[in-house]
Amino acid sequence: MTHVQCLIIGSGPAGYTAAIYAARANLTPVLIEGPQTGGQLMITTEVENFPGYPEGVEPFQMMADMRSQAERFGTQFVSGCVTRVDFSCSPKLVVVEDTDEYTADTVIVATGASAKFLGIPSEEAYRGHGVSACATCDGFFYRRKTVAVVGGGDTACGEAEYLAGLCSKVYLIVRKPFLRASQIMQQRVLNNPKIEVLFEHNTLTLTGENKVQGADLVYRKGTPDEEIRHIEIDGFFLAIGHKPNTDLFADYLNRDEEGYILTEADSPRTNVPGVFAAGDCADPHYRQAIVAAGSGCKAAIEADRYIKSL
């Protein structure tokens, strides 16, 4: 069993930023990297909206830069997944891969959230080559092009409206004969001449040579009116929701109905003293790398203050 002052779970922008600040505060943090270094950022093609990279940067490079910076100040990295925690005791207990046990005075949870996908094979094949789960992140690359957004809720309508400001045409693919979005969002989408809503459509597959160039859809699947249709597109955006990676902490941390960790006001403090949440696991609204990084900074500062108060 290893004891640390600050243990960070997650290796995205929130986790790495927390590590940088915690290490500079002489907390000698240990960061558990999890199954995907860099987190959800790794499914985008290029990062152009993170300050400090005027020419843009590949997500792998940006995460490598963050990791190197955290390592420079003394962060220790552990490869593996956290399989069990106990936040009822003090210090907190964190178990990695069911074998390695860590006790920690403070824990920063930065496990992120995972975008929900349709589950069709071509999604994976074109991921990073026309398939995206973040219009704010990747919409810029599709200026004056044709794209499709999947979903019928507020998120999907918001993404479609955002993309309509950049693209020449936006298809909104909705599996139901109506939109679930709020009335005002419905009106904005239906009144936008650049957006064509395809009600009662499901996506069968994506097509294209090395990148997304089209999509095969089925209209009114399973009815006598069923029909296969093809649309030509340059980008395919998923907007059917995200799932925060927080199930591991359900017995200890307060969460909302979707699973996002609830924190006190504008702070990263959770309902458990000494446990802080940062990044997308506690952010159902913005889900941007720069916002996650800022929350990681706040979590590390709060962890330092908590330790000094002991």
Distance of alpha carbon 141 from alpha carbon 235, whole angstroms: 9
Instruction: Please answer whether residues 181 and 188 qualify as being in contact, where contact means their C-beta atoms are separated by less than 8 angstroms.
Output: no
Beta-carbon contacts of residue 209 (< 8 Å; ≥ 6 apart): none
Catalytic residue numbers read: 134, 137-138
| Token code pair at residue 31 | 């960061």
Position 134 pLDDT exceeds 90 = no
Question: 268, 280, 276: which is closest to 252 by C-alpha?
Answer: 276
Query: Which residues, other chains included, contact 290 with Cβ-Cβ below 8 Å and sequence gap of 6+?
Result: 13, 49, 50, 51
CA-CA-CA-CA torsion for 131, 132, 135, 136, nearest 10 degrees? -140
Token pair of 107 as six digits = 């824990």
Percent of residues in the chain assigned helix, strand, coil, to nearest 5? 30, 30, 40
Please name which of 1, 42, 43, 34 lies closest in space to residue 15, comparing C-alpha atoms.
Answer: 34
Helices (H), 111-182: 121-125, 135-138, 154-164
Provide the whole-model pTM: 0.80
Q: How distant, in Å, are the alpha carbons of 33, 46, 52 from that of 49?
A: 24, 9, 9
pLDDT at residue 267 above 80?
A: yes
Strand order in the sheet with 146-150: 131-132, 235-238, 146-150, 169-174, 195-199
Q: Which pLDDT score, from 0 to 100, does residue 37 have? A: 80
- Please determine, for residue 172, whether its predicted confidence score (pLDDT) is greater than 80: yes
How would residue 39 be classed by pLDDT, with cut points 50, 70 and 90?
confident
User: What is the C-alpha separation between 190 and 197, in angstroms, rounded?
Assistant: 7
- Candidates 76, 54, 57; CA nearest to 65 is 57
Per-residue pLDDT tens over the stretch 43-79: 676 888 899 999 999 889 999 999 999 999 999 999 9
- Look at residue 17 in the predicted model and tell me its pLDDT: 98
**Residue 155 is encoded by which pair of tokens?**
């998120």
Helix (H, G, I), strand (E, B) or coil at 123: helix
Closest CA to 277 of 257, 264, 261: 261
Measuring CA to CA, which residue among 183, 179, 146 is closest to residue 164? 146
Taking the C-alpha atoms of residue 140 and residue 145, their distance in angstroms, rounded to an integer, is 10
CA distance 238 to 225: 26
- Split at pLDDT 50, 70, 90, the class of 27 is very high
Q: Are 118 and 240 in contact (CB under 8 A)?
A: yes
Helices assigned H by DSSP within the chain: 13-24, 59-72, 121-125, 135-138, 154-164, 183-190, 289-309
What pLDDT does 206 receive?
A: 97
pLDDT in tens, 210-260: 999 999 999 999 999 999 999 999 999 999 988 999 999 999 999 999 999
Q: How far apart are CA 76 and CA 231, in angstroms?
A: 49
CB 120 within 8 A of CB 143: no
| Residue of higher predicted confidence among 259 and 133 | 259
